Structure 1
Amino acid sequence: MDTEKLVHYHQEGCVGYIVFNRPPANAYNLAFHLDFEQAIQAACADAKVNAVVIKSNSNKFFCAGADIKEFQSNTFEQNQLMVDKARQNLDAMEASDKVFIAQLEGHTMGGGLEIALACDVRFAADKSFLVGMSEIKLGLIPGNGGTQRLTRLVGVATAMDLLLGGDNISPQEAKRLGLVNKLFSEQDIQNQVLQFAMRLGSGPALAIAATKKAIYAAADKSINDGLALERNLSDQLARSEDAKEGFLSFVEKRPPLYQGK
């Protein structure tokens, strides 16, 4: 594990970890997103893992979004390079066969929330910190998928309220609105995230990837196109070695040993 990087990747057993490491707030710049890109690529290429946890070295901040001071002093062209890389990174996470899990234990704001929204699952500590996107207060809108992914999660009315107001909310409110999947105590969140990730890590990689693909298709396909995709994916899986192993292990009353084939 290269702790000198602003973002680094390491693997523990069947779980991958991407860790933000730019104190004090993990405010990101181009160098951050270049390291983030390498970490995402390493995670996606790691055949040992199905699940990747994104977390912070800080218990105060998950990520505060773009480094505003650096953003303000840069040229438009310099900032655009960073924004383009951020967009590529979040799109790569969403397109990956891996399940990305955001472990939120501190302030998750602006572009930091956009990173969490691009994850497939969001777990948060049941404590006091801020969650929100305040770009409108800077005369901007979220530019890394925030308007689109937030709306798909919480609906038009709630997204309008959050984005037009630009106010931050608590993780408890984020859970109520459906932005966060589950809340866990500060003492238990790491263990709960690990248990969830390990279940995926030892699970059937082909079925996990197909599930993710089918769920996301529901957001932008007609019901008929979505059902056609589901049938195609389901039929492919039925012919897989993993499906045979799943049935056999059930009959033999033993844990399955999936091979991703």
Structure 2
Amino acid sequence: MTQITIDKSSPALWTATFDNPPINLIDPNTVGELQELVTALETDSGVKVVVFRSADPDFFLAHWDVLVDKAKVAAMPPGPTGMHPWADVLVRLSRAPVASIAEIRGRARGAGSEFALACDMRFASRERGILGQFEVGMGAVPGGNPMARLGGLMGRGRGLEVILGADDFPADLAEHYGYVNRALPDAEIETFVDSLARRLASFEKHALVAAKALMDEVTLPPEDVFRHALSAFFASTAHPATRARGASLIKRGLQTRTATELNLGWAVADSLP
């Protein structure tokens, strides 16, 4: 793998670190590596816990790479679920027989937020953690259907505030809304997450897996909703106004380490030429 480093500190505990400069964009190669990792999590009998963190303190996973050819993205071969590989990764990670933990130091927006939501637990740095679904601000529908997950986590009204408002949610507000489990001081978050992960890894796998599966039955959305969302995403990105907003943001520094990316929730509200 070139974008994700896997540290197997013990057979039961794996740490996956994202490192895709300049700002940890998600692209087809990221998805391919995630598919490979999820397959390993599904088939390795020893692993019990996986922690996801970033080598970049400003970006956990920035968002999808908007410059990738959308026709090629739409034509990517389906994963084992029969769905587009991005939806496939999100669905399979949520149901994988391991406990997955996202340690969010930096920004997790768009597809980065969708990935964090697919993890079983999310912990965010109080000083650095920012989550958001900015797509509607660009004229697009979020393709990984965070709507289906946010509705269960925070209720319809707050979920729509996140999706339709397309703004940034700092860690403290994200915690208050239920977007993340906890907001923790940046100096303490890694120690906390490692301690929790080691604790879970010390338990019996059969108990962890069975308890998670029962929780999945009553909390995870049906798989088909993810298929529908991707269709809506591709349709929405074909609108001329959506393309104009995207082009404007690219000119202003989208996908580079600029004020536009660092303050994307603000930038999308002023993204017309």
After TM superposition, give the deviation of residue 62 of structure 1 in Å.
0.3
AA partner of residue 30 (structure 1): P
Distance change (3 Å), C-alpha of 1:206 and 1:91? same
Aligned match of 2:208: 208
After TM superposition, give the deviation of residue 129 of structure 1 in Å.
4.2
Aligned match of 1:143: 143
Residues 46-97 of structure 1, C-alpha deviations (whole Å, 9 max, x = no match) = 3332110011111110001101122xxx142434528921111111111111
CA distance in 2, matches of 1:220, 1:18: 23
Matches within 5 A, 1:46-195: 46-70=44-68, 74-81=69-76, 84-195=84-195
CA distance in 1, matches of 2:92, 2:53: 17
AA partner of residue 12 (structure 1): S
Name the SS for the 1:103 alignment partner.
strand
CA distance in 2, matches of 1:57, 1:118: 20
Question: TM-score, normalization: structure 1?
Answer: 0.77
Identity of aligned residues (%): 25
- Stretches of structure 1 lacking an aligned partner (at least 5 in a row): 222-261
- Stretches of structure 2 lacking an aligned partner (at least 5 in a row): 78-82, 222-273
CA distance in 2, matches of 1:124, 1:108: 10
Q: Aligned residues, how many?
A: 215
Name which one, 1 or 2, has greater alpha-carbon Rg: 1
After TM superposition, give the deviation of residue 29 of structure 1 in Å.
0.9
Residues 18-44 of structure 1, C-alpha deviations (whole Å, 9 max, x = no match) = 221101211111111101111222233
Residues 155-179 of structure 1, C-alpha deviations (whole Å, 9 max, x = no match) = 1010111111111110110001111
CA distance in 1, matches of 2:47, 2:73: 35
Q: Which moved more, 1:167-176 or 1:74-83?
A: 74-83
CA distance in 2, matches of 1:202, 1:129: 28
Residues 93-117 of structure 1, C-alpha deviations (whole Å, 9 max, x = no match) = 1111101100000011000000000
Q: Which moved more, 1:124-133 or 1:20-29?
A: 124-133
Question: TM-score, normalization: structure 2?
Answer: 0.74
